């Protein structure tokens, strides 16, 4: 009986000693994944303003009323958020997700400013369209993009002249989010968006990638309706 009692006490003591170690291991695992979860939480599933509090590695982008949080250049994460894609450029490999660019940095990934000229197939769902000299620029995280029809890509470009001054912002209806209901990949999404853009342009006589001329309000609305109908017909939920 005494032997069993001593064994029971010893087992209890071992459990009590193991609890802090397990908690410490859980905390280390939490810290290791924190960067990924923080960035993933900041995406905004539908492109809404992500106004939750952020740590020192995040900054709030107020330019052009963009109003979103982004990780600062130089911030490092154990891994980039899932769902993005890689782009090779100049002998380096970049990872793009949600308007943010990353580059492998040793065993981790570091937030960087992308080089001018690198392109993406599809804009992030919460980009802001601004016009400079009648030319539409697409803005997110202090980065400007221009549509390059010969490449069928949105290309990172230098800030336009006068970008610190007031610019004409496009009406809100030119921006929407198309969610792939059927699990379409990035390449398929880019192809569908491009083809729907071409079809909507033909139907409406309006091209949002070109400088506006005259009264384009009605044509712009027709373009958005046509583009929305095309994307919905291809298996997207458009909001």
The radius of gyration computed from the CA coordinates of the chain, to the nearest angstrom, equals: 24
Of 125, 126, 70, give the one whose Cα is nearest residue 102.
Answer: 70
Predicted confidence (pLDDT) per residue in 166-196, tens digit: 455 554 444 567 888 998 876 687 778 778 8
pTM to 2 decimals? 0.59
Our count of domains for the chain comes to 1
Looking at the domain assignment, is residue 35 inside a domain?
no
Looking at the domain assignment, is residue 192 inside a domain?
yes
Looking at the domain assignment, is residue 191 inside a domain?
yes
Predicted confidence (pLDDT) per residue in 8-66, tens digit: 544 444 444 444 433 333 333 333 333 333 333 333 333 344 444 456 788 888 888 78
Specify whether the CB–CB gap between 82 and 95 falls below 8 A. Answer: no
Looking at the domain assignment, is residue 201 inside a domain?
yes
Structural domain boundaries enclosing 224: 171-239
* Alpha-carbon gap, residue 57 to 72, rounded angstroms: 5
Looking at the domain assignment, is residue 189 inside a domain?
yes
30-to-8, 36, 209 alpha-carbon distances in Å: 33, 10, 44
- What are the φ and ψ backbone dihedral angles of 87, each rounded to 5 degrees? -135, 120
């Amino acid at each position: 009986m005494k032997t069993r009692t001593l064994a029971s006490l010893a087992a209890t003591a071992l459990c009590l000693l193991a609890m802090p170690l397990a908690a410490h291991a859980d905390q280390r695992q939490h810290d290791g994944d924190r960067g990924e979860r923080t960035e993933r939480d900041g995406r905004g599933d539908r492109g809404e303003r992500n106004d939750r509090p952020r740590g020192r590695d995040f900054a709030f982008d107020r330019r052009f009323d963009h109003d979103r949080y982004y990780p600062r250049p130089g911030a490092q994460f154990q891994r980039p958020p899932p769902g993005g894609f890689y782009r090779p450029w100049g002998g380096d490999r970049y990872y793009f997700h949600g308007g943010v660019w990353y580059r492998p940095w040793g065993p981790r990934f570091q937030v960087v400013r992308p080089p001018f000229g690198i392109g993406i197939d599809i804009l992030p769902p919460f980009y802001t369209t601004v016009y400079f000299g009648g030319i539409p620029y697409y803005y997110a995280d202090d980065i400007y993009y221009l549509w390059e029809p010969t490449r069928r890509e949105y290309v990172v470009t230098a800030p336009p002249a006068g970008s610190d001054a007031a610019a004409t912002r496009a009406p809100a209806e030119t921006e929407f989010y198309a969610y792939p209901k059927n699990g379409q990949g990035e390449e398929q999404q880019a192809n569908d968006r491009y083809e729907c853009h071409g079809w909507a342009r033909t139907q409406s006589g309006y091209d949002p990638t070109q400088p506006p001329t005259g009264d384009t309000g009605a044509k712009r609305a027709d373009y958005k309706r046509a583009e929305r109908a095309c994307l919905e017909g291809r298996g997207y939920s458009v909001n």
